[in-house]
A and B are shown apart, each in its own frame.
Chain A
Amino acid sequence: MLKTLRTNDTALMILFSLIVLAGPLILAPFGAGYPDLMQRFAIYGIFAIGFNILFGLTGYLSFGHAAFLGVGSYSAVWMLKLLSINIVPAIIFAVVVSGLFALLIGYISLRRSGIYFSILTLAFAQMSFNLAYSVLTPITNGENGLQVELDDPRILDSATGPGQLPVPSLFGMDMSSTSVVHFLGMDLQFNVGFYVSALILIAVFYLSLRIFRSPFGMILRAIKSNQTRLNYTGFNSRPYTLTAFVISGMYAGLAGALLVCMDPLAGPERMQWTASGEVVLMTILGGAGTLVGPVLGAGMIKYFENIFSRMNDVMVHDWFSALPGWLNDVLTNVISPFLGSGWQMSLGLIFMLVVIFLPGGLVEGANRIMNRVQRPSKSGPVSGPVDRTTTANSKES
C-alpha cells in the first residue's frame, strides 16, 4: 500500500515536471504560448500551491495573501536596485522578508479561527495596501509603482552601457531572452524567465508534496478536520498553524519576487483585496487540498484574464463568418458580452458551475472522468489515480 503510494508520487512528479517543462509546446495551440503568460502561469502556480498549504491542509482561509506577494515584490525590487541585477539575492531576500512579515501577521491573526481569522488577514492586507499606496511612498513609490532606475547603486554589478537599463538576469542569462523555434507551423517561444520560474515551480511543488505526505502535514489535516478535539487531547496546535502560515507566506513572497524578476515593476494594486480573492478562487477552482489543483486553477484564471479579456466582437464576428448574416449577428451579440471586458462574467459562470457540480474543483472532475473510464474494467471503488487526497477531501467538505 505504502509502496504504491510512493510510486504514484514519483509518477506524479515526473508527469508534472514533463508537463510544466513542455509548457511552450502545450500552450502554443491555445494562443497562450508567449513568455509573459507562461511566466504568469508558473508564478501564480507557486502562489496558489503556497496558499493551498495553509487553506487546503489546515482549512484556515486567509483573505490577505496578496500582502505577502506585494511585500515579496517590493523587497525584490529593492534588492535589484541596491545590490545586484542578479535575481538570486532578490529572491532570497524577498522570501525572508515575506516570511518575517507572515510571522508577524500570523502570530496576531491565528489567535482567532474561522471567519474572524479571515477578516483579520483581510484587514492586514488592506492596511498594507493603503500603506504602500500613501504613507510608505518613499519606499514603494506609491501609485507610480517601484521600478529599477538608471541611477540605482547596484553595488555588486559593474556598470552597464550608458543610458541602458539592465535586465534582471541569472548569472548573465537575461530573463527576457527568448528564442523562437518553428514547429508544426507554430512559433514556440522558449524563454529563460519561464524556465527559471518553471524549475522553481517544480521544486516547490515537490516541497509541497513532501509536506502533504509528512507527519507535519498529517497534523495540519487533523487541525482541519477537528481542531477542538485536537486541543482537548492536550495538543497545542497553534505552532503548527503558524508554521503553515509562514510557509505559505514565503511561497507568496517567492511568487512576488519572481513577478518582478520577470518584469521589474511593483505596484501597490498587487496587494489589493481583489488580488487576495484571486488566489482563493484559483485554489477552490482547481481543488483545495489537492496537489495539482491550485496550479490548474491558477492557469485557468490567468488564461481567462489574459486571453478572454483580449477578445473583441470583431473576432467573434469572424468565428461565425460562415453562418448567415442575421445568425452571425445574433450569436455575436449573445457571446461578446462574455468576452473582452466581460471576461469576469464568464469566469464567474464557470466558477459557479464548478462549485455547484464539482465541489472538489477541476481535479475532482478529472477524477470522475478517470473513474468512469476505468469502471468497466475494474470493480469496486477506485480512488483517483493522480491524487489520493482528493477523494478524502471531497468527503470532508
Chain B
Amino acid sequence: MSNYKLNRRKFLKGSTVLGAGLVAPTIFTRSASAYTNEPGKGSVVLGFNVPQSGPYADEGADELRAYKLAVKHLNGEGDGGMMSTFSSQALNGTGILGRKVEYVTGDTQTKSDAARASARAMIEKDGAIMITGGSSSGVAIAVQSLCQDAGIIFMAGLTHSNDTTGKDKKANGFRHFFNAYMSAQALAPVLVEHYGADRKAYHLTADYTWGWTQEASMIQATEALGWKTVKTVRTPLSATDFSSYIAPVTNSGADVLILNHYGSNMVNSLTNAVQFGLKNKMVNGKQFEIVVPLYSRLMAQGAGDAVKGIFGSTNWHWSLKDAGSKAFVDSFGKEYGRPPSQAAQTCYAQTLLYADACQRAGSFNPCDVGAALEGFEFDGLGNGKTLYRAADHQCFKDVLVVKGKENPTSDFDLLEVVQITPVEKVIYEPDNPMFAGGSLGKCNPGV
C-alpha cells in the first residue's frame, strides 16, 4: 500500500514539473509580429467563411463563386471585372501589396458555433489575415466579434440585420450590404403607392437578429404611412414547412402578409402562402397582397411562379446598366455561365474594397486598413456613389425596389427594378434608435 502511495506522489510531482515545463514557454515568449497573422513576402491568405449547408446554402455557394472570381482578378488573371471600373485605381493585378492572394474556405453551416470554429481554424491554422462571408446576420455578428477579439478584419458578406452595424458593431468589422432599415424606408412608400395607405399587415418573421430588426423596421416604416400591424409571428430558422403559420393568416383580418424570411425559408413560406390561395383572396374588399422585404434572384428562382407581382428590395441586380455592373456580370457569366446574385456582388465588392484599402494604406495592419476604409467614398462597384461611413462602418448607397416579373424571358430574368431609391431617402444618423446601444470600440490589431 505504502509503495503505491509513493508511486502516486512521484507521479504527482513528476506531472507538476512536466506541466510547468511545458506551460513555461507560453509565459516567457511572445511572438514578434506587429499584428495577428502578419503575412510573409510571397503570399497573403484570405478566409472565405460561407454557409455550404443549411437554409442559406444557395447564397453561400454563389458567394464562394464571387470570392474565387475576385481572387482571380486580384492576381491579374481573367478580365479584371470591376477592377477596371472601380474609382480607386490602386489595385494593379499583382495581388495585394505585391503578394499573391491565396484563400481558404470554410462551412458556417448557418450556425454561429460552427462558423466561429471555422473562422478560428482559418485564423490559427491557415494564418488568414481577413475573414469574410455571412449569409446569416446571427453568424455574421458572431464571427465579427470573434475577429474583433483576434485582431482580424471582418468584411461582412450578405448580412442585412440592423444590429451588424448597430448595437453589435465592431471596429474591425465592415459592411457593404444594405440593412433592414434601408429596405423598409425604400419599400414602404412604394407599397403605399400601389396598395393604398389603409392596409392591415401580418408579419411572419425568422426568429433571430435579422428577422427581428427587419420586422421592427418594416413596422416602423409602414405604420408611419398609415398601415396597421395585426400580428407578428416568429418562425424558427430551421423550419421547412410553414403551412401551420400561414393558415391563421386567412382568419386574422389582415390584407397584407409580410414575409421577413430569406433563403430557403422564404422560398418555402411564399410557396405555402401561394398554395393556400392567399394571392387570389379578397379581404376587407381589397386584393390580398404578399410582400418580401429582402429579395434575391436566387430566391425568386427557387420560388418559381409564386414570385410574380411580389414587391421587395434588393442591394443590387444583374440587370443594372452601369459600367461596373456590366463588367461584373460579363466576367461572372464567362466564368460560371450564369448572372451573379446580390450576395455574389456584395462579396466581390467587399474583397476588392479590402484589397484596395490595404494597397492604399500600404499595410495589412487591421488598424491601418480600417482607417483607409473609414469615410472612403467610391464608385464603379455596381451601386453608384457609395460612402463607407466612419461612425458605424456601414456603406450608404441607393436601394433598389424590385418586383417579381409577370412575364420572365429567361430563367434569370425574374425581377424587374421598380424604383431606385436614392441614398438620401434611406440614410440615417448613427444614433438612430434602431441602431443605438453599441459602440465600435477601438480597432484591435491583435498580439
Contacts and interface: CB of A to CB of B under 8 A. Distances in A.
B124 A35 contact: yes
B125 interface: yes
A181 B25 contact: yes
Given A7-B7, A144-B141, A36 B171 contact: no
B241 interface: no
Contacts of A143: 138, 207-209, 236-237
Q: How large is the interface on A (under 10, 10 to 19, 20 to 34, 35 or more residues)?
A: 35 or more
A162 interface: yes
A22 B22 contact: yes
A228 interface: no
B148 A195 contact: no
Contact of A145 (B26, B106, B112, B207): B112
Contacts of A195: 19, 22-23, 26
Contacts of A10: 4, 7-8, 11
A267 B106 contact: no
Interface string B26-55: 111111000000000000000000001100
A309 B150 CA distance: 23
Contacts of B146: 263, 265
Given A134-B236, A192-B26, A265-B116, A21 B145 contact: no
Given A145-B138, A180-B31, A190 B171 contact: no
A204 to B, nearest CB: 14
B308 interface: no
Contacts of A144: 112, 138, 141-142, 208-209
B280 to A, nearest CB: 32
B166 to A, nearest CB: 13
Given A181-B29, A195-B22, A263 B111 contact: no
A356 to B, nearest CB: 29
Contacts of B23: 190, 192, 195
11 contacts: A7-B7, A10-B11, A14-B14, A17-B19, A142-B208, A143-B207, A144-B208, A161-B442, A162-B441, A173-B27, A179-B26
Q: Which 6 A-B pairs have the closest CB atoms?
A: A163-B441, A143-B208, A34-B124, A36-B120, A34-B125, A145-B112
Given A144-B141, A165-B145, A179-B29, 17 more contacts: A10-B7, A13-B11, A14-B15, A34-B124, A36-B120, A40-B117, A134-B234, A134-B236, A145-B138, A150-B441, A173-B27, A190-B22, A195-B22, A199-B19, A263-B116, A265-B116, A265-B146
Interface of B: 3-4, 7-8, 11, 14-15, 18-19, 22-23, 25-31, 52-53, 104-107, 111-114, 116-118, 120-121, 124-125, 138, 141-142, 145-146, 148-150, 171, 207-209, 234, 236-237, 438-442, 444
Interface of A: 3, 6-7, 10, 13-14, 17-18, 21-22, 31, 34-37, 40, 133-134, 137, 142-145, 147, 150, 161-165, 167, 173, 176-181, 189-192, 195, 199, 202, 263, 265, 267, 269-270, 306, 309-310, 312, 341
